[in-house]
Amino acid sequence: MTAKKHNKLIGIFLMAHGTLQAVIMTFVWLIYGGVGAGLMLGGSTLFAATLYAMALGAPHWLGAVTPLGGAAMIAGWCFLACSYDARGDKN
């Protein structure tokens, strides 16, 4: 195996491992009520994973899925802002 192939396999493994870890953490946070955090993590994972996949040769129609990740990140920020406002920290 050449160094080029080895580095490509290591990169694919690291991307798959990071994506799997992010997906697992997203489900854990969603179960325990962290909707905003789950949306942010899931959105950033979807956004980055589709871009990485297209860079590695995935079909170009996958680029139509990328904005869904961005929209999920924006929704996560909105949930975060609403949850802070709903806490009602008034000193």
pTM for the model: 0.60
Residues with Cβ within 8 Å of 70's Cβ and at least 6 positions away in sequence, in order, are 43, 47
Residues 43-83: tens digit of each pLDDT: 888 888 888 888 888 898 988 999 999 999 899 888 877 77
Q: Decide if 45 contacts 69 (C-beta within 8 A).
A: yes
Gap between the Cα atoms of 44 and 36, Å rounded: 12
Residues 16-44: tens digit of each pLDDT: 887 887 777 777 666 656 777 788 888 88
